[in-house]
Structure formats: C-alpha cells, structure tokens
Amino acid sequence: MPKEDSTIFSSYQRDPSLFDEIYDKKGQVKEVYKTLFQLYGGHSIPDYMTLNEKARSSFFNQGITFQVYDDKQMQEKIFPFDLFPRIIDGKEWEIIEKGAIQRSRALNLFLWDIYHEKKILKQGVVPLELISSSENYLHQMMDVDPPGGIYNHISGTDIIKHNDGKYYVLEDNIRCPSGVSYVICNRTALKRALFGVFNHYETHTVTNYAENLLDLLESVKPHGADVPNTVVITPGMYNSAFYEHSYLAKTMGVELVEGRDLFVENDFVYMRTIKGPEKVDIIYRRIDDQFLDPLEFRADSSLGVPGLFSAYKKGNVTLANAPGTGVADDKAVYTYMPEIIKYYLDETPILNNVHTYHCSRPKELAYVLDHIHELVIKPVDEAGGYGISIGNRLTKKEIATVKKQIQEHPRKYVAQPIMSLSVHPTYIDETNSFEQRHVDLRTFTILGKDKDFVLKGGLTRVALKKGNLIVNSSQGGGSKDTWVLK
C-alpha cells in the first residue's frame, strides 16, 4: 500500500539513456515544467488515485468509449488518459506549425500534379513506379479538379522528438486522420479533474477546431452553392471513431449522415429529411475511398452513395478529403518528402524526415538486409502500427522470416533507423507512480482556399507498456493533454 506521506513523484526514476521531455541537458526540471512538477508533486498517492478515477468517470459519462467483447458480454472501455500534460512552448510550436503547413501544402501540390500533368514523375524527381504500383492511386481521379484545388483538406502529421532533441515527422496521414476529438476531450477531462493547474499557465485553446474546420471547408464549396450545406458522413454508430464523427458534426452544427441518408439525382447530392430532399454541397467524409460509391469503387459497399463520384466529377459537391489522397500518405512517398517540398515550394523542409531506405532499390535493399538488427522495417501501406518489425527486438529466427518477406516483396517495405521517441512522466496504475513512457504527437492541419489552420495542441499519444515504442490506441496506447503555451 502506498504511504500517505509519499508523493506521486517521489519514486520517479530517470533512465539517462532516454530523452525525458521534462528535464533539460543538465538534468534539471525545465523551467516550463517546474510549476507543474511542484503542483503534481503536492498530491499524495491516494489523493492522486482519486483524481485519476474522476478523470476516468468524466470520459465514461461523456460516453467516450470503445467496445470490447469478452466471454459473453459487451464491455465499454475508455481510452486510457494520463493526467500529467505535455507542454510545448510557443517558440518550439511555431516550428511545428510552419513545418506542418509546409508539408500539407507540398502534398497538395504533389497530388494535383500526379492527377494532372505528372511533371514530378516525368522529370524523375519521384520514380513513376512509386505511384503506378500504389494501391491507393485512383485512376478515376485523373484530370478531376477538386473544388478550390484542395485535395488534403485535413492532415494529421505524426511527429516525434528524437534523442537529439529535434522533431521528426514519422508519417503524414491524409486520408481520414482521426483523433482530434480526443484532443478536446483530454482537455475537458483534465479541466474537470485539476482545474487549478490552468491558473499557472497560459495555454492556447483547442476548442476552436470545429469552427475553423467548417470555415475552411466552406471556402472550397462547389461552384454555384452560395450558402453551402455541409454534412459529415460516417460509416455508422458502430464504427470505432463514431464519437469523433458525431462530435465534429455537433460542434460544426451540421448534419451527421450515413450513406443511406443520401442519394444522387442528376449529379446532385441530396439528403432525406423529414421535409423531403435537401441538397448537400460539402461532405466531410469519414469513410474510405473504396466505400464512397458502389458504382465507381467497391460494388459491395453499403456505406457509400451510388452516383456520388459522378456528382463529384461534375463539380457539384466537395469531398474532403478528396478521393485518392491515400497515394500521397504512403510510407514510400514519405521518403521523398524533402524532394517534394523542394520541387513544389522551393523550400527546405522545416521538419526533419527520418532517413528511409527503399527496399525497392537494390543497393538499399542490400543495406537493409545486412542491418536489420538496427532498423525498423515497415510495410508501406499498413495503418495502425501493424506489421512493424523493430530490428533490435527480433530473435534470429524472426530476422530470417522478415528477410524472407522483404526479399519476396521488396516494394512493400521500407526501413528506417530506430528512432528513439522521447519519454514523458506518465502515471502507471500498476505501480501507483509516475514512470517514463514514450510519446509522440499528432498535429491537425486544415487547408482551405488560400487559408490554413493548425490546431494549437495535438494528440500526445503514450505507449503505456514499458519500453514500448508503438503508441497507437489499437495497440494499448493512451494519450495526454497537450499544452501549447502563449
């Protein structure tokens, strides 16, 4: 049992080989964390346990849960949330923000190019087979002009801090990046449990996301829609991200629809309301490309709307993100980001890219096969942290299997040096104390016509298992509130 007089930080152990975000180079608690450290350190263990319970019930009551099935019964669980926030000071944030916008803009120009003139491919800056062999390339999008010229309206950029203290981008998510609702819920839960700590810091709000999203979506309305009617389309209430879909619809004040609520007539999209059909102009879609329209893509899709793509091609409806953006968030395209940014914007990347070896190139393939033990091997087209092998964790037998897989499908794999994610003090239930855990950061960027927006904050994801580097919620990750200071 914890002793009454010991505080939650008294047993915090620092592993010097890890980059701990709350300490400076000299091993002192950083200036920005000092107050926080003191405030949290003032709590006794039982006291903190109560607070933690409060935060949990806040999520539970808000209904921010996912469902798991055990033996017979369905159970609701919350996404683990850590009460100790991560702080990013204003100057550091500026770099992240500029870097995220730069990447989103470059990717947007890249998408326009590869679905129109393909200059970048013709000039050999990015190899043609990278695109032609991608499963996410939609030939149907060729020569289609998305309203406002925007493809990746919403981007989620996954960023880490390496042990050199610099930020690196791990991934650009520009299909249907999720998680933004958790940024806001985390803030709400933290306020409910520990409102006092906010008095000591000036933190940017995160609740302005929805208004900016609606504003920027409306900036790319289809031609002829004066007062555009926007909707969010969801696969339905049993989807694991349904809470987020409903949250976004509610906070934007727009309808949340399912495929069956919409229909297309004469290439215009309508929704079925209690007063008959109503025209829809902008669709923030949270269903994948392949399910959008059974007439054009997967014929067995019951989630989509027959004829939707045809309406889109005619320019009568905006889809955000545009179909076919997946081709650019492919992990192989990621490795060309410095070239892509240079090519379209004539700028050097603000955020670092992790050096990547392409197994499709014979020379690099040979290097990868020789150095597996010091590399992370990733399939180029998997999401959610699946299929990743971390070289120094593999047994000899496993290394042999991975090698074989790579040799069979070299195009399917890329390799990167093992990046060490920074760590952050995280409350661990089992030991009732704070321990170091690896974290990353997902930022949310919105592009509109001549406008952009980055949410000041983001989703700090925590790998709750000791030593684990994979932070995805589907693999037992939690999250933290993230403060960007004014």
Partner 1 sequence: MLARVANNLFWMGRYIERSEHIARYMHVNYFSSLDAPNELSRSRQFVLNSMLRMIGDPEAKENEVLNEEEVLFKLALDPAHPFSILSNVKYARENANSARDLISTDLYESINKFYHFVLKYPEQHFLKKGLYDFCINIIEMSSILRGRIRSTLLHDEVYAIIMLGVNLERANQLIRIINAKYHDALNAQGSYGDKFSKSFEWTTLLKCAESYDMMRRFYKKTPTSLTTLEFLILNPNCPRSMMNSFNQIYTHIRVLDNSFKYDKDSTAFLVGRVRAEYQYKYVEEIEGNIKEYIEAMLKNLADIGNKMENEFFHY
Candidate segments 84-92, 111-119, 268-276, 367-375, binder of partner 1 by CB under 8 A: 268-276
How near is the Cβ of 76 to partner 1 at its closest, in Å? Answer: 8
Candidates 261, 339, 381, 452: give the one binding partner 1 (CB under 8 A). 261
Tokens 């109503």, residue? 278
Tell whether omega for the bond before 432 is within 30 degrees of 0, i.e. cis: no
How near is the Cβ of 155 to partner 1 at its closest, in Å? Answer: 23
Candidates 257, 340, 414, 463: give the one binding partner 1 (CB under 8 A). 257
Residue with Cβ nearer partner 1 (122 or 250): 250
Candidates 68, 142, 237, 400: give the one binding partner 1 (CB under 8 A). 237
Distance (Å, rounded) from C-alpha 87 to C-alpha 373? Answer: 34
Candidate segments 192-200, 243-251, 323-331, 417-425, binder of partner 1 by CB under 8 A: 243-251
Sheet holding 389-390, edge to edge: 357-358, 413-417, 375-379, 389-390
Candidate segments 101-109, 251-259, 294-302, 344-352, binder of partner 1 by CB under 8 A: 251-259
Residue with Cβ nearer partner 1 (23 or 242): 242
In angstroms, the Cα distances linking 75 to 58, 69, 182 are 17, 6, 20
Site map 271..300 versus partner 1, x via CB under 8 A: xxxx--------------------------
- The candidate with the shortest Cα–Cα distance to 443, out of 173, 62, 153, 135, is 173
Query: b vs e for 293-324, b when ≥16 Cβ sit within 10 Å of the residue's Cβ?
Result: bbebbeeebebbbbbbbebbbeebbbbbbbbb
Using CB under 8 A as the binding rule, whether residue 208 contacts partner 1 is answered as: no
3-class DSSP assignment, residue 38 = helix
Residue with Cβ nearer partner 1 (89 or 261): 261
**Residue partners of 53: CB distance under 8 A and separation at least 6:** none
Residue with Cβ nearer partner 1 (246 or 405): 246
- CB-neighbour burial class of residue 268 (10 A; exposed 0-12, middle 13-18, buried 19+): middle
Q: Are strands 268-273 and 276-280 parallel, antiparallel or unpaired?
A: antiparallel
Tokens 């930080």, residue? 9
How near is the Cβ of 248 to partner 1 at its closest, in Å? Answer: 8
103: left (phi over 0), alpha (psi -120 to 50) or beta: alpha
Q: Which of residues 138-157 bind partner 1 (CB under 8 A)?
A: none
- CB-neighbour burial class of residue 485 (10 A; exposed 0-12, middle 13-18, buried 19+): middle
Residue with Cβ nearer partner 1 (249 or 328): 249
Residue with Cβ nearer partner 1 (244 or 289): 244
* Cβ pair 423, 435 in contact under 8 A: no
Residue with Cβ nearer partner 1 (3 or 272): 272
Using CB under 8 A as the binding rule, whether residue 246 contacts partner 1 is answered as: yes
Q: Which of residues 43-72 bind partner 1 (CB under 8 A)?
A: 60-63
How near is the Cβ of 317 to partner 1 at its closest, in Å? Answer: 17
How near is the Cβ of 379 to partner 1 at its closest, in Å? Answer: 34
Residues that bind partner 1 (CB under 8 A): 60-63, 232, 237, 242-243, 245-247, 249-250, 254-258, 260-261, 271-274
